[in-house]
Amino acid sequence: MSTLHLRRGGTSVVVDMTAQPHPAIVHWGRELVGSTPLSLASLALAARPQRVSGGLDETPRLGLLPTPAGGWLGTPGIEGHRDGAGGSIRFELAGVQSNYHRATISLVDSEAQLAAQIELRVGASGLLHQRILLRNTGASRYTLQSLQIIFPMPWDATEILDTTGRHLRERTPQRRAFTFGTHTRESRRGRPGADATLLLAAGRPGFGFENGRVHGIHVAWSGNHRVTAERTTTGEAFLSGGELLLAGEVILAPGESLQSPWVIGSWGDGLTELSARFHEEWRARPQHPRRPRPVTLNTWEAVYFDHSLEKLAALADAAAGVGVERFVLDDGWFTGRRDDTAGLGDWFVDRDVWPDGLHPLIDQVRELGMEFGLWVEPEMINPDSDLARRHPDWILRGRMALPPSARQQQVLDLAHPDAYDYISGRLHALLEEYPIAYLKWDHNRDLVDAGSGPGGSSRVHDHTLALYRLLDELKARHPRLEIESCASGGARVDLGILDRTDRIWTSDSLDPLERLANQRYTGLVVAPELMGMHLTSPIVHASGRTVSLALSGAVALFGHFGIEWDLTAVDEATREQIVWWVALAKRLRPLIATGRVVHVDGTDPGIDVRGMVAADAASAVFTITQTETSVAYPAGRVRLPGLDAERRYRVRVIAADGRGDHPGQSPLAWAHQDTALTGLELESVGLRPPVQFPQQARVLELLTDD
Ligand code: DGJ
């Protein structure tokens, strides 16, 4: 076979099996409907470069695992050595197994004594998954320095999009030209980090959500990672991704193998199509949380560390009264945890605060008809804890001195068998003693100098594997348990953790205006129902901004809806509004959990338009948010794309913030009459947005009238 054609879900991957020194992907993207073995052989031929002056006699090819000994002059796919020797690697094809959407390509280098199995799988929604199993076939130890997986890009992808951020502002987009050389993003924090890019994407200039061909990759791994966009002067452009290995972290004994994380690529004509592939495929997994996402109340911003049964019982009453279905007790319930300086590691209910344990609170929560959830941070340890005093050797460190402190805490060596057994034992004991339906699993610091002890080896790789094992074991023993992945908000958001958990805490910023961008770019990869979105108290704790309930509600609707607010202190009128928003979130959640996310390009800079369109396109919900004043007054029409072009939709405002009605304003014509437009009319022409004061939102519901 000269070419391999994998196709599914609108995507084709064509591999030239005759490329030298080993196979090379010659196309990843649009499904090549109508291609024949003959045309694909020609496609492969058409990708072959000429020899040119001043270059190697064979112009280098971007193979599946390119290396200098194979003629590759860009960043190698693999680097390693045997005690300083054996750095030359040149993989050759040893075999292939394939069906129409997956293949395992075996490569060997008998001189370097390495074997690699590259798995390629095109998912039902057209995602390309790749991972590599590397085996040391030699008789000496092999130190692996890096293993990066290659995704070739169309040459005309000339603009890069990635995200950066910080605590309280994760996933801020940044764009740049995809020029010659490399653009690399790394995480060295032992978790992806608030500043990590969730997706490294490149596309035609100016690509947006609605249009413009774009490809992107994501590393499904919760430890350190590296992604690179590279353009070479030999006419190759590609994205690569993999785990970032610290010095000496992976040393393969003779016969030993390393399985890389999956690196997942998506593409689309616009980012909406690219992200829909991620959402659809994640939703199709057997473990995907399918029951309606319970409206959640989290106690953190309501009480912080100030725990008392009386206060929390009152909060539970108030929560049930507005329709909350899950009550989550956040940080502060365990021994010595009166503030954030002490206690992590001592996972016993603090008897000074909870003399009868958590039973009285949990009993009440359940009697009120809610599930109970509990906050934990199992990978962490405070030096001021009984655990640290008993087992100082369980703290990750690379030298005698402890690593720089963060939030007064250190990291527990989860790869240490005794530390693992202790943590696992405590979690299982809590889950057995109490009817806990949900764990909010936090991780509040970066892993810095995270070694196995003074002079020991780096532990991030092993720590990440131990974390996965722990999560998998908990899920196996408590199959109905749901877990939220939190890391000071959204500092550990990746599809590795989301394969084992049921939602992420998207950000510690509950500010709806900040959340708009955060949600849009987290949504590049993460489906909306997996993103925790909470109603905030009117003065946002993270930003100090005063926001309306209508704005907070409209933004939180497009996620896993919840509340983080001291409901015992709200007045009756506000309480009634909260009841209304909770009811709306419950009514719309089936759509949020199955629909297609739509972001609208080219809208007035002061206006954000986004929507959720039902899978059968029979209904949709859009929000029109006035983020700042518009220059045009009233603003020009906004489009509502993503609907069925031929069907007619009745458009209705279902939620608004009355502050927008300025005395000089006349009513918005379409909102006060029977208005039904076709999907094509809404997408191509649109309607006048309501005049709103800044920081207000309207929620529109669209229903087909057939
Ligand atoms: C950081 C989380 O993101 C917050 O929601 C809260 O759980 C605190 N940690 C508790 O310490």
Which among 490, 517, 484, 491 has a CA at the least distance from the CA of 506?
A: 490
CA of 271 to the centre of ligand 1 (A): 31
pLDDT of residue 471: 98
pLDDT of residue 339: 98
CB–CB of 112/119 below 8 Å? Answer: no
CB–CB of 28/71 below 8 Å? Answer: no
CB–CB of 423/360 below 8 Å? Answer: no
Which residue has tokens 């129902």?
529
Tokens of 27: 């196309």
CA of 301 to the centre of ligand 1 (A): 9
Atom of ligand 1 nearest to the CA of 487: 3
CA of 428 to the centre of ligand 1 (A): 22
Ligand 1 neighbour 375 (Cβ under 6 A) = yes
CA of 556 to the centre of ligand 1 (A): 18
Round to whole Å and give the CA distance between 369 and 295. Answer: 12
Ligand 1 neighbour 564 (Cβ under 6 A) = no
Active site residue 674: no
**Pocket probe mutation, ligand 1, options 330, 341, 485, 504, max atoms within 8 Å of Cβ:** 330
Letter string b/e over residues 243-281, b meaning 16 or more CB atoms within 10 A of that residue's CB = bbbbeebbebeeeeebebbbbbbbbbbbbbbbbbbbbbb
Ligand 1 neighbour 494 (Cβ under 6 A) = no
Distances (CA, A) of 361 to 348, 404, 484: 16, 37, 21
CA of 493 to the centre of ligand 1 (A): 15
| Dihedral, 148, 153, 157, 159 alpha carbons, nearest 10 | -10
Long-range contact pairs involving 304-310 (C-beta distance under 8 Å, separation at least 24): 304/331, 304/332, 305/331, 305/332, 305/337, 305/338, 305/339, 305/340, 306/332, 307/332, 307/333, 307/353, 307/354, 308/353, 309/354, 309/360, 309/361
- Residue with CA at minimum distance from ligand 1 atom 10: 331
Round to whole Å and give the CA distance between 482 and 493. Answer: 16
- pLDDT of 236 above 80: yes
Atom of ligand 1 nearest to the CA of 330: 7
- Residue with CA at minimum distance from ligand 1 atom 1: 488
pLDDT of residue 656: 79
CB–CB of 643/649 below 8 Å? Answer: yes
Ligand 1 neighbour 517 (Cβ under 6 A) = no
Residue 133's CB: how many other CB atoms inside 10 A? 15
Q: Where are the alpha helices (DSSP H) in 203-308?
A: 271-283, 300-303
CB–CB of 358/404 below 8 Å? Answer: no
- pLDDT of 66 above 70: yes
Ligand 1 neighbour 442 (Cβ under 6 A) = yes
Question: Quick one: average pLDDT of 285-301?
Answer: 97
Ligand 1 neighbour 489 (Cβ under 6 A) = yes
Confidence band, pLDDT 50/70/90 cuts, at residue 218: very high
What's the CA angle centered on 629, arms 628 and 630, to 5 degrees?
115
Which among 98, 117, 91 has a CA at the least distance from the CA of 3?
A: 98
Ligand 1 neighbour 444 (Cβ under 6 A) = yes
Ligand 1 neighbour 486 (Cβ under 6 A) = yes
**Pocket probe mutation, ligand 1, options 168, 442, 503, max atoms within 8 Å of Cβ:** 442
CA of 97 to the centre of ligand 1 (A): 47
pLDDT of residue 678: 98
pLDDT of residue 657: 77
Atom of ligand 1 nearest to the CA of 298: 5
Atom of ligand 1 nearest to the CA of 564: 5
Atom of ligand 1 nearest to the CA of 340: 11
How many helices and strands, by DSSP H and E, does the chain display?
12, 36
Round to whole Å and give the CA distance between 445 and 411. Answer: 8
pLDDT of residue 665: 85
* Collapsed DSSP state (helix, strand, coil) of residue 171: strand
Atom of ligand 1 nearest to the CA of 489: 3
Atom of ligand 1 nearest to the CA of 440: 7
pLDDT of residue 661: 63
How do strand 326-329 and strand 159-166 relate by DSSP bridges?
unpaired
How do strand 326-329 and strand 296-298 relate by DSSP bridges?
parallel
Which domains does the chain carry?
Answer: 64-283 (2.70.98.60), 325-505 (3.20.20.70), 600-704 (2.60.40.1180)
- pLDDT of 1 above 90: no
- pLDDT of 659 above 70: no
pLDDT of residue 660: 58
pLDDT of residue 355: 97
Long-range contact pairs involving 503-508 (C-beta distance under 8 Å, separation at least 24): 503/289, 503/293, 503/529, 503/530, 503/531, 503/532, 503/560, 504/530, 504/531, 504/532, 505/440, 505/532, 506/170, 506/531, 506/532, 506/533, 506/559, 507/168, 507/169, 507/170, 508/167, 508/168, 508/542
CA of 442 to the centre of ligand 1 (A): 7
CB–CB of 65/58 below 8 Å? Answer: no
For residue range 132-160, list pLDDT tens digits in order: 999 999 999 999 999 999 999 999 999 99
CA of 343 to the centre of ligand 1 (A): 15
Active site residue 421: no
CA of 18 to the centre of ligand 1 (A): 53
Which residue has tokens 């005309």?
156
Ligand 1 neighbour 505 (Cβ under 6 A) = yes
**pTM given for the model:** 0.98
Ligand 1 neighbour 300 (Cβ under 6 A) = yes
Which among 149, 148, 143, 147 has a CA at the least distance from the CA of 249?
A: 143
Confidence band, pLDDT 50/70/90 cuts, at residue 664: confident
CA of 489 to the centre of ligand 1 (A): 7
Ligand 1 neighbour 508 (Cβ under 6 A) = yes
Letter string b/e over residues 504-538, b meaning 16 or more CB atoms within 10 A of that residue's CB = bbbbbbbbbbbbbbbbbbbbbbbbbbbbbbbbbbe
For residue range 22-35, list pLDDT tens digits in order: 999 999 999 999 99
Residue 587's CB: how many other CB atoms inside 10 A? 12
- pLDDT of 658 above 70: no
Atom of ligand 1 nearest to the CA of 486: 3
Three-state SS sequence of 363-385: HHHHHCCCEEEEEECCCEECCCC
Atom of ligand 1 nearest to the CA of 505: 3
Confidence band, pLDDT 50/70/90 cuts, at residue 418: very high
For residue range 674-697, list pLDDT tens digits in order: 899 999 999 999 999 999 999 999
Ligand 1 neighbour 488 (Cβ under 6 A) = yes
CA of 597 to the centre of ligand 1 (A): 28
Ligand 1 neighbour 485 (Cβ under 6 A) = no
**Pocket probe mutation, ligand 1, options 297, 337, 508, max atoms within 8 Å of Cβ:** 508
Which among 495, 439, 496, 488 has a CA at the least distance from the CA of 465?
A: 496
Residue 495's CB: how many other CB atoms inside 10 A? 22
- Residue with CA at minimum distance from ligand 1 atom 6: 300
Confidence band, pLDDT 50/70/90 cuts, at residue 114: very high
- Residue with CA at minimum distance from ligand 1 atom 2: 488
Q: Could you say which of 330, 462, 508, 604 is catalytic?
A: 508
pLDDT of residue 324: 99
Q: Show Cβ contacts of residue 652 under 8 Å, excluding neighbours closer than 6 positions.
A: 700, 701, 702, 703
Which residue has tokens 């700042």?
628
Q: What are phi and psi of 224, to 5 degrees?
A: -75, 145
pLDDT of residue 489: 98
pLDDT of residue 253: 98
Q: Could you say which of 109, 331, 442, 462 is catalytic?
A: 442
Ligand 1 neighbour 501 (Cβ under 6 A) = no
Ligand 1 neighbour 240 (Cβ under 6 A) = no
CA of 465 to the centre of ligand 1 (A): 23
**Roughly how many angstroms between the first and final C-alpha of the chain, as a whole number?**
51
pLDDT of residue 89: 98
**Pocket probe mutation, ligand 1, options 382, 505, 534, 541, max atoms within 8 Å of Cβ:** 505
Type of residue numbered 4: L
Mean pLDDT over each residue of the chain, to the nearest integer = 97
CA of 309 to the centre of ligand 1 (A): 20
For residue range 585-600, list pLDDT tens digits in order: 999 999 999 999 999 9
For residue range 448-471, list pLDDT tens digits in order: 999 999 999 999 999 999 999 999
Which residue has tokens 């959402």?
279
Atom of ligand 1 nearest to the CA of 375: 7
